[in-house]
Every structure is written in structure tokens, then in C-alpha cells.
Amino acid sequence: MAEAYCFLLRRDLRAAVADFIWPEGVEVCTYQPQLAPAVHQLMQLGYREGGGRVPALEVWQQRFERDPEYDPQLCFIAMDAEGVVGVVQCWTSAYIKNLVVHPRAQGRGLGRALLLNAFRVFQQRREGFVDLKVLEDNLRAQQLYESAGMYVVRREIVPD
């Protein structure tokens, strides 16, 4: 199997963060354990085409909630009338671990709003920058991140 690569992207938080609005019918809250099944299901759906792996719900939830960098105030959940449609999971080290938008909500600016909201929260926490990793072949995500002011820091081999 050929090696896969990802890019480490960074956003300087000294620069202003663009204004954004949440798509109509979408409300955002922070993570609560009772949302775990719906968040997990969205992450599985989002990574179904590749781009990451999500372990079984119990394993995922335990790893997530017990991670030393976990803070529920840094995990933003977007919901519409049908349920969870977006999640951005961030770590206390100013790192965006996951950003997933449900296919039915794509193309409405939700991913951009979640990303910019995370930038704002990290600015309020007086972080200098925020990082994330994106697979080299995930061009749609790269375009989103670059349009929000992120730039490539380095290319890395994706661990197995």
C-alpha cells in the first residue's frame, strides 16, 4: 500500500477572523455526553469515504472524554431539526482534531462557520495560532481551510 500524506495547516490568530453567520435553522451548542451517539454517527458518516477512522462508540467516547486535552467547551455541535449536522472537535493545545459536516448540510457555509467559530474561541483564549491536519487528497477541505487563512506548515506521512 502506498504511503498517504497529510498537511499540517496553521492559522495565525493575531489576524482578524472574518464575520460569519450560522446557516438558517442551525443552532450550536457545546458537547454533552448525551450527544455522543449522534456525534459519533456523524463522524462515522463523514469518514466513510476515507480521511480518518472512528472506533466503536464506547471506545471513541472514552478516548475523547478522557483525553488530557479534552474540554467540552472546545467541541461545538451544530444541530438542525433532524439532529446533529456538524461538529468541530478541538483540543486545549489550539488544535482542531475533527471537523465534519453532514452531507445534507454541506454547501451552506456550516463548515466555514464552525471553523471560524473555533478560531474566535482560541483568540479569546489568547492562543497565538491554531493547527489542524488534512489529508493531501482532501482538496475540498484544503480549499475551505486556506480560504479561512490557514497555510501549510509541513507535509507528513500519515501513520498507519
CA proximity to 13, closest of 145, 94, 128, 149: 128
For residues 27-33, average pLDDT: 95
Please provide the CATH number assigned to the domain covering 5-157. Answer: 3.40.630.30
**Nearest residue to 111 via CA among 133, 87, 89:** 87
pLDDT reading at 47 higher than 90: no
pLDDT for res 3: 83
pTM, whole model, 2 decimals?
A: 0.93
pLDDT of 112 reads: 97
Q: What pLDDT does 159 receive?
A: 77
- CA distances (Å), origin 115, targets 34, 66, 87, 145: 23, 23, 10, 8
Q: What is the pLDDT at residue 54?
A: 85
